[in-house]
Amino acid sequence: MGRPTGFLEFERKDKSAEAPLDRIRHFKEFYHPLSQEDQRIQASRCMACGVPFCQAGVMMEGMASGCPLRNLVPEMNDLIDMGQWEAAWRRLEKTNCFPEFTSRVCPALCEAACTCGVHNGPVATKSNEYAVTEKAFQEGWVRPTPPKNRTGKTVAIVGSGPAALAAAKLLNQRGHQVTVFERHDRAGGLLRYGIPNMKLEKEVIDRRIRMMEEEGVTFAVNADVGREIPADKLKKEYDRVLLACGASNPRDIKVPGREAKGIYFAVDFLSAVTKSLLDSELRDQAFPPVKGKRVLVIGGGDTGNDCVGTSIRLGCRSVTQLEMMPKPSKERDLSNPWPEWPRVLKTDYGQEEAIAVFGKDPRVYQTTVKEFIPGKKGEVSKAVLQSLRAEKDPKTGRITMVPIEGSEKTVDVDLVLIAAGFLGSESYVADAFGVKLNGRGNTAFRDGSYETNVPGVFTAGDMRRGQSLVVWAIREGREAARAIDESLMGYTNL
């Protein structure tokens, strides 16, 4: 521990963001990293706890506490403080295949569980991870490392999101020949088309894909397994198959008027905007028109927030975001103690931008849509909103949201984006392989393992555990790689 009193000497300081009214003019990342010296000072605030909850990665009350990848956070911070940046990178890459992704899009579970954050600001570990990773790329510490020997074994991976990429990297590193099949025109899955450019610029993905190709991983795009490519072909030509297709089956809302034009799933909207951005810098306008529209976003999570930020950048007239649940408190409740994930009010980048542009928070809590009213041409023109109240089931203790009769209110809308979560994976891939799904629409697996009911066919990521975080997907991919390697070789050293 290089500076034992750092947490007493220095206040938390994090990377700064470009002003909302400036950053809405573009789709680029908008955070400005700290200087190298400031980053060292922030790393010195790490207390090197005897029990570092930041790297625990355990579940508490249904939520993760600490990093699911179990990054060696105190060691990395200490090495940064001592100026040993390459050693810090080596520590980080031991547990995290892709810190260039997590340091941009992870909600920083490590910081939520930081001991220093109990009475003061937590250590800026996410920024430290970003600084170490980008320095590693700049200095050439990250470079292609093809395996010296090949095992002669082959693995097909269906999907190219974070779980798929993590598994591909490790299995290739082990010496197996890996082919990644992606149904879209570019690899990356959720990272590519599910996360907007301002949170993760796509060159960051391309940089990693190029490196993996140099290491020997083969990427096949526009390859829709289960439709255009028969599942039997993969099972015949490859020794093992990994299904990592994500949880891409969006949850719909069934209300009168749902068939009106101008109502889209958020994932389809965000994907179309990103593809247009990559294909033509938005010149082809190959996405639902937003300029001048009154946008209604249904869903209060990350995807809903991304829809708010994207709509503002595309020139919407107004934006409203509906949240079914009550507004969280600003401070932790006694029933939500550290180191649990804090259930407190957070204002994300899209909401900050809406406040700056329209003068108010776009979120409306305890509200849902009761009906859509189409116009003369069948396009959505109004939405009937209804307030909800929270009721606690006396037997189970669960909170349910119940409509309040007589609370209906009609508002004008031109574009509706449904960001109500996902109902598991699209079933056609699993059906093609004969893989069973569980009651939640996720792939079933054997006794906590990563193998499905079909011998030789494995599963990982959101397709296995349901909609979750990128950091969890990477962990799933790493663990699935171990399981596949062991099934192929009789043991694993991954």
pLDDT in tens, 162-187: 999 999 999 999 999 999 999 999 99
To the nearest whole number, what is the mean pLDDT of the chain?
Answer: 96
Please check whether residues 365 and 428 belong to one and the same domain: no
User: Pick from 388, 418, 448: which residue ends a domain?
Assistant: 418
Residue 330 has, within 13 A of its CA and on its CB side, a CA count of 0
pLDDT in tens, 55-88: 999 988 888 899 999 999 999 999 999 999 999 9
Please check whether residues 135 and 160 belong to one and the same domain: no
Question: Residue 201 has what pLDDT?
Answer: 98
Q: Is residue 433 part of a domain?
A: yes
If one compares 61 and 457, the residue with the highest pLDDT of the two is 457
Residue 93 has, within 13 A of its CA and on its CB side, a CA count of 17
pLDDT at 447 over 80: no
Sign of CA dihedral 464, 468, 470, 472: negative
Specify the CATH number for the domain of residue 447.
3.50.50.60
Q: Is residue 254 part of a domain?
A: no
User: Pick from 108, 139, 170: which residue ends a domain?
Assistant: 139
Question: Residue 339 has what pLDDT?
Answer: 92
pLDDT in tens, 234-264: 999 999 999 999 998 999 999 999 999 999 9
Please check whether residues 450 and 355 belong to one and the same domain: no
3-state secondary structure of 57: coil
pLDDT at 445 over 90: no
Please check whether residues 17 and 47 belong to one and the same domain: yes
Q: Is residue 257 part of a domain?
A: no
Q: Is residue 395 part of a domain?
A: yes
Please check whether residues 164 and 307 belong to one and the same domain: no
376 burial level (CB within 10 Å; 0-12, 13-18, 19+): exposed
Q: Is residue 255 part of a domain?
A: no
How many structural domains does the chain have?
3
Please check whether residues 110 and 226 belong to one and the same domain: no
Please check whether residues 412 and 455 belong to one and the same domain: no
Render 419-487 in DSSP notation, one character per residue: ---B-S--HHHHHHHT--B-TTSSBP-STTSSB-SSTTEEE-THHHH-S--HHHHHHHHHHHHHHHHHH
Please check whether residues 413 and 432 belong to one and the same domain: no
pTM for the whole thing?
0.95
User: Pick from 387, 418, 449: which residue ends a domain?
Assistant: 418
3-state secondary structure of 372: strand
pLDDT in tens, 32-44: 999 999 999 999 9
Q: Is residue 431 part of a domain?
A: yes
Give the mean pLDDT of 443-455: 89
Please check whether residues 318 and 348 belong to one and the same domain: yes
Specify the CATH number for the domain of residue 37.
1.10.1060.10
- Whole-angstrom distance, CA of residue 355 vs CA of residue 24: 12
Question: Residue 1 has what pLDDT?
Answer: 62
- Of the candidates 453, 427, 424, 431, the residue with the CA atom closest to the CA atom of residue 232: 431
Is the preceding peptide bond at 339 cis, omega within 30 degrees of 0?
A: yes
Give the mean pLDDT of 341-356: 96
Q: 491: Cβ–Cβ under 8 A, 6 or more apart, which residues?
A: none
Question: Residue 440 has what pLDDT?
Answer: 87
Question: Residue 34 has what pLDDT?
Answer: 95
pLDDT in tens, 126-144: 999 999 999 999 999 999 9
Q: Is residue 145 part of a domain?
A: no
Q: Which of 16-20, 226-230, 339-343 has the lowest mean pLDDT?
A: 339-343
Please check whether residues 414 and 439 belong to one and the same domain: no
Please check whether residues 395 and 349 belong to one and the same domain: yes
Burial 228-260 (b: 16+ CB within 10 A, else e): ebebeebbeebbbbbbbbbbbbbeeeeeebbeb
Q: Which of 41-45, 115-119, 452-456, 481-485 has the lowest mean pLDDT?
A: 115-119
Please check whether residues 134 and 162 belong to one and the same domain: no
Q: Which two tokens stand for residue 125?
A: 């570990």
What percent of the chain stands above pLDDT 90?
91
3-state secondary structure of 63: strand
Question: Residue 2 has what pLDDT?
Answer: 65
For residue 34, what are the domain limits?
6-139
Question: Residue 349 has what pLDDT?
Answer: 98
pLDDT in tens, 284-321: 999 999 999 999 999 999 999 999 999 999 999 999 99
Angle, helix 162-174 to helix 470-489, in steps of 10 degrees: 30
Q: Can you tell me which residue has the tokens 């990297």?
A: 169
Q: Is residue 345 part of a domain?
A: yes
- Of the candidates 223, 251, 193, the residue with the CA atom closest to the CA atom of residue 429: 223
